[in-house]
Structure 1
Amino acid sequence: MNIDEILKRYDLVLSGDDFKVPLDNGREHFIYAVTNFRGGIGKTTLSFNISYKFSQNYRSLFVDVCPQRNFTELLMGKEINDEGPTIYDALLGRIMGGAWEEATQNNEPLAKRVKDTNPHFSSIKNSHVIPGSNELFLFPSTLYTQLNQYYAMGGTVKTKAVANLLCSLKSIIENEITDLKTEKVLIDSSPFFGGATHLAWMAADALIIPVRVDEQSLFALELTLKMLKDEESDFNLWRQRADIPFKPKVQAIAITHCGWNRQAEHQIDQTSIMFIERAVEIATRYADCFSTDNPIDHFALLSDFQGAGKISGTLGIPIDKLESRKFHTVDKKRVQVNKSVERYKKELNYLYKLLD
């Protein structure tokens, strides 16, 4: 698979040269979901840094549907432990029906203002986060029990009832959009499809898929695209049962942890190139899952962020705000920001351009 086009663009990105970004349809997508079926690849750190990019230009809403709720912690810090409604509470209100929703109603807003808890968001567009919850680990059984009960019922209303369940997260988001005058939404999902990630796909206009340069990630990429395309997949079967014609398109594949060739400027190492070629080959086989006809245009290459990524993902500091050579304390150890952080900023900015 020839990936020269991607590598040439990567060189231009890092050189700071002017060039035309291959995608110009990012603004058509209002709700994005960051998704993959593999954990431990820096997905949430990537979501956090994309969220900062969105906040620089749009009134944004961030939604955490991963039960580990790391995205919430990066945006809310110590406030994560405060009492208050979470996305789990909101979803149960929709899934379990009016009696449950009425019993759990309170006057506290669901979405929290990010600049109140993360100072790095204080001088940009007003953005909000709907907090995640560890209880989302329990949510898949609740969701599919209700879906199966509704689908087993007779009559013509079962299709609409199933659709209401599948669109429950979308309805929650749309209510917040209206109240907050939101311009962009970013959902951070879990590496497991069942439950809230399923609902994130139903809510999203487009998907962002991080893929690490390793075998498991390539396998997960193919599983993700197959789930999206295959009409017999759980995602599409339930969509058909609800008579919902729409499904999200892939807008970006972010290849993460690309190795760096130290002997040649702006060059990816050969091992990473091999994985990129295979990822492009997989994407090409599922070309109709993408928002344009040319999957290769949807690829962005990201280095192994090393210390900068650890600082960003632990302390809740956007990579754009990190300064080269500055020290930070992470897990009681002093970590210095490497000068390569300037390269990371350029790479993230290019990924953002594919979305904007």
Structure 2
Amino acid sequence: MATATIVSLINMKGGVGKTTLAVGLAWELAKSFRVLLVDIDPQFNATQWIVDPDKYLEWLRTKHTVLDIFSPAISSNSEKNGKVTPSTSIIPVQKGDSVLYVLPSTIDLMQLDAAPRGTENKLRVYLDKVRHLFDYVLIDCPPTASLFSYSAFLASDAYLVPVKPDPLSVLGLPLLNRAMKDYEERSGHHLPRLGLVFTQVRQTEAMSNTMQQVRGQYVGEVFRNTIAQTTGVAEAVEENTPLQTYKKSGNFSDVKASLIGICSEFVDRAKELSL
């Protein structure tokens, strides 16, 4: 029986290409593995990218989202079955020969302000019940220290950090380190870092210097492969198309090769967790 490795993609700084990495990596893994992508960002960008709008709107009317896992009481839609199950909460999406499974988010997550004690454990409980169905579970987190990122921390086996190699974005790494330490002290749960992935990379001297600096500070943690700054992301989202198959992207072949390389490194590092 397969038991998934659960990895959160997290950075407390926004605009670093987190969802681009999450969706691209999920689709690449889905070529060879059963993969669940969990969207716990109230902006639900990953959901919008993967799921056709009409299908998503129909799903909201009759099925469940991650909100129903955190707080079923907020979902007042009487057409929904009250019990959250894999079939009522996970959307299978097929592209070519690959199927990616999605636990969708919703903008209504923003209503979850003052959550009762214990809410932070509900995602972990849910994933413990479904992880045998998958090889990998990726959690796309919001760029804030919040109930949702803490819930992902508690539910995960490791976390992965997307980093845009500019000075302001790199300044966010100590903030992330402090947040992870705080989560560990609050919970007693130690979460290893799977690594850092450079995103939105441009061939400038400043970015090259920043990447060299980060590799020196986090020896052995930074992935060799990087994702270049890419045109066509918005169009790929609009067409619900994986970036590595969206041939209208200005640097399509580079992005495709990068995601293949990142996927290979990810699998190797994930295997080391269980050694």
Which TM-score applies when normalising by structure 2?
0.82
Change (3 A) 1:45 1:341: same
* Structure 1 residues 228-283: Cα deviation after superposition (integer angstroms, max 9, x where no partner): 23xxx2x13420xxxxx4322111211112222xxxxxxxx321122113323443
Match of 2:180 in 1: 228
The AA in structure 1 aligned to 2:266 is: L
Distance 2:157 2:70 in 1: 20
The AA in structure 1 aligned to 2:173 is: L
The AA in structure 2 aligned to 1:137 is: M
The AA in structure 2 aligned to 1:238 is: R
> What is the CA-CA distance between 1:111 and the residue it aligns to?
0.9
Secondary structure at 1:114's aligned position in 2? strand
Change (3 A) 1:303 1:131: closer
Unpaired segments ≥5 residues, structure 1 = 1-27, 97-102, 148-161, 240-244, 261-268, 284-294, 329-336
> What is the CA-CA distance between 1:191 and the residue it aligns to?
0.2
Change (3 A) 1:136 1:279: farther
Identity of aligned residues (%): 18
- 1:87 lines up with 2:66 in the alignment: yes
Distance 1:197 1:106 in 2: 21
Question: RMSD value over aligned CA atoms?
Answer: 2.7
Distance 1:30 1:320 in 2: 23
* Structure 1 residues 21-69: Cα deviation after superposition (integer angstroms, max 9, x where no partner): xxxxxxx970111110111222112211111011111111111000000
Change (3 A) 1:273 1:106: closer
Match of 1:347 in 2: 258
The AA in structure 1 aligned to 2:161 is: I
Change (3 A) 1:227 1:130: same
Distance 2:243 2:13 in 1: 23
The AA in structure 1 aligned to 2:190 is: K
- 1:273 lines up with 2:213 in the alignment: no
* Structure 1 residues 188-225: Cα deviation after superposition (integer angstroms, max 9, x where no partner): 11001211111011111111111112233112122112
Answer yes or no: is the 8 Å Cα contact 1:213–1:255 preserved in 2.
yes
Answer yes or no: is the 8 Å Cα contact 1:91–1:169 preserved in 2.
yes
Answer yes or no: is the 8 Å Cα contact 1:222–1:282 preserved in 2.
no
Secondary structure at 1:280's aligned position in 2? helix
Unpaired segments ≥5 residues, structure 2 = 75-80, 268-275
Distance 1:61 1:302 in 2: 23
Answer yes or no: is the 8 Å Cα contact 1:169–1:200 preserved in 2.
yes
* Structure exhibiting the larger radius of gyration computed from Cα positions: 1
The AA in structure 1 aligned to 2:259 is: L
Alignment of 1:181-196 (within 5 A): 181-196=133-148
Q: What number of residue pairs does the alignment pair up?
A: 256
Answer yes or no: is the 8 Å Cα contact 1:298–1:354 preserved in 2.
no
The AA in structure 1 aligned to 2:263 is: Y
Answer yes or no: is the 8 Å Cα contact 1:210–1:256 preserved in 2.
yes
Alignment of 1:201-350 (within 5 A): 201-229=153-181, 233=182, 235-239=183-187, 245-260=188-203, 269-283=204-218, 295-323=219-247, 337-338=249-250, 340-350=251-261
Answer yes or no: is the 8 Å Cα contact 2:91–2:103 preserved in 1.
yes
More helix per residue: 1 or 2? 1
The AA in structure 2 aligned to 1:353 is: S
Distance 1:168 1:195 in 2: 11
Which TM-score applies when normalising by structure 1?
0.65
Answer yes or no: is the 8 Å Cα contact 2:92–2:102 preserved in 1.
yes
